[in-house]
Amino acid sequence: MKIVEFDENGQQVIRDSGSLSSKNSGSRLAPRPVFSRSAESKPQRSRRSTSSGIELHMFQTGTLKTKTKYIKMNQGEEDFEIPVPWFLIKHPKGNVVIDGGNAAEVAVDKRGYWGDVVDAYDPVMESKENCVDQLKLVGVEPHNVRFVLQSHLHLDHTGAIGRFPNAQYIVQRSEYEYAFNPHWFATGAYIRADFDRPGLNWKFLGGEFTDNYDLFGDGTIRMIFTPGHSVGHQSFLINLPNTGKVLLTIDAAYTMDHWENKALPGLVVSSVDAVNSVKKLHQIAKDTGALIVTGHDPENWATFRKSPYDFYD
């Protein structure tokens, strides 16, 4: 397996994992601040690969400048800047991307690509923050991505679609169908150019009938149906050999306030479903003791180890 390290001058060095010196093993790096950008800070050493080959990498495609009310329903006009997270899971059976953040085009012409929705959610994204280029920093080339899992198809989650020629793209069927014909209040959240692409290898899941879909059949990645924020939203329960369970709520809980039943999401198709989905995830968290990763909470996100500097194993 290829590993990216950084030498004393911050230069990127790609090595086989077997050639790494043992002094790097097991080091835990301090969490990086949420708004740090790779161009402004000297990269730190990556940790060595684990023998299981299962790793969870946390990335972001910059941030969105918005207002509190657009994230926490009816809760204020003040400015609120949120991270746009996405994830990679390295697994012996193949690399898996979850969501991929914003499309690369957003860094070039945000209003041209997203339209007037930038007035409510203004993306702050550098070109090099697209998911394809960031994956290369941890040794993953586009042809080596086997699955792309879509939590849902809102515009800050669709950056991976169509970028990986050998990937199967997995989404809830209801979400895919809704994305082509959303209600008036949700139209700005769907960018058809992201998901309406020819020749994609889609796999559609069936809501409660396929709930807890186990991607590799070994419990590493389970897909949990959590509608409410969107029609076919799903969350992910990741099981890592050393870290244990990690629950990626994605937008089933935008923020810890949403997780703690103190707020509803600013964008919602069913408040009742959204609340029930949080309740469902609470039970899973209680049963598993999972680390909770919410969808867009700046403070919660700042506590995690980020790629390409560090990862979870």
Sheet of 234-240: strands edge to edge?
213-214, 221-225, 234-240, 244-250, 291-294
Distance CA 312, CA 306 (A): 9
Q: Is 175 or 251 the residue whose CB approaches Zn ion more closely?
A: 251
> What is the rounded distance in angstroms from the CA atom of residue 48 to the CA atom of residue 24?
6
How many binding residues for Zn ion (CB under 5 A)?
A: 2
Residue of this chain nearest to Zn ion (CB atom): 154
Number of other residues whose CB lies within 10 A of the CB of residue 215: 20
Q: Which residue in the set 47, 57, 91, 154 belongs to the binding site for Zn ion (CB under 5 A)?
A: 154
Beta carbon of residue 253, minimum distance to Zn ion (angstroms, whole number): 11
Task: Please name the helix (run of DSSP H) or strand (run of DSSP E) that holds residue 272, with its range, or none.
Answer: helix 271-288
Beta strands in 143-240 (DSSP E): 145-149, 168-172, 201-205, 213-214, 221-225, 234-240
Bridge pairing between strands 213-214 and 201-205: unpaired
265 vs 308 by CB, closer to Zn ion: 265
Q: CB within 8 A of 30, min separation 6: which ones?
A: none
Among 251, 257, 310, 313, binds Zn ion (CB under 5 A): 251
Distance of closest approach, residue 129 Cβ to Zn ion, in angstroms: 19
297 lines the binding site for Zn ion (CB under 5 A): no
Chain Cα centroid distance, residue 174 = 20
189-208: contacts with Zn ion (CB under 5 A): none
Segment interacting with Zn ion (CB under 5 A) among 191-199, 214-222, 247-255, 279-287: 247-255
Nearer to Zn ion, 3 or 98 (CB): 98
Stretch that binds Zn ion, among 11-19, 150-158, 169-177, 238-246 (CB under 5 A): 150-158
- Name which of 175 and 310 has its Cβ closer to Zn ion: 175
Q: How far is the CB of 157 from Zn ion (least distance, A)?
A: 6
- Contacts with Zn ion, residue ranges (CB under 5 A): 154, 251
